[in-house]
Amino acid sequence: NTHNKVKFDCDICGESYKTVKGLETHKKNKHTENRRTENKAHINCPICCKVYVNKLALQRHMTAAHKIINKQCDYCTDFVAKSQEEYDFHILKYHSQPQTSKTAINDLIMETVEELDEAIEDDEQ
């Protein structure tokens, strides 16, 4: 699938990775030591480059200015969603109750795939 444009951005330095695994590895290698001082450091908004003193302030800004939420998954602490939609989708796909019908999940996946296809077609024209 060469048209897969999904990417995962490091919320600390902004580097992009094609897979969650790649991003996780990057974070472990590059940012683990900084974890403890992270709250005191100044953090740049990766979109408009405004500077914030802590992650919470940046998150509030991201939500208000860019509609990006960086919501961490309650179940797997490594996953951070950039939008409520992405978060809901992740919860549904990976942490939904067993009784949740598989059809509902498949429908959602199908919809997402269709949306992606449309977006790609728009890009190429």
* Residue 62 CB-density burial (10 A; 0-12 exposed, 13-18 middle, 19+ buried): buried
Maximum Cα–Cα distance for the chain, whole Å?
47
Q: Does 51 bind Zn ion (CB under 5 A)?
A: no
Contact region with Zn ion (CB under 5 A), list: 10-18, 32-40, 81-89, 104-112: 10-18
Q: Does 119 bind Zn ion (CB under 5 A)?
A: no
CB of 92 to Zn ion, least distance (A): 10
Q: What is the DSSP letter of 73?
A: P
Q: Is the CB of 53 or the CB of 65 nearer to Zn ion?
A: 65
Return the residue of 5, 7, 13, 100 that touches Zn ion, per CB under 5 A: 13
- The CA distance from 25 to 29, in Å, is 6
* Helix runs in the chain, H state only: 20-31, 55-66, 84-95, 102-124
Return the residue of 20, 57, 73, 92 that touches Zn ion, per CB under 5 A: 73
Contact region with Zn ion (CB under 5 A), list: 15-23, 34-42, 99-107, 116-124: 15-23
For the range 83-88, what are the long-range contacts, defined as Cβ-Cβ under 8 Å and sequence gap of 24 or more? none
Size of the residue set binding Zn ion (CB under 5 A): 12
Q: Does 87 bind Zn ion (CB under 5 A)?
A: no
Written as six digits, the tokens of 71 are 């919501």
Contacting positions for Zn ion (CB under 5 A) = 10, 12-13, 15, 45, 47-48, 65, 73, 75-76, 79
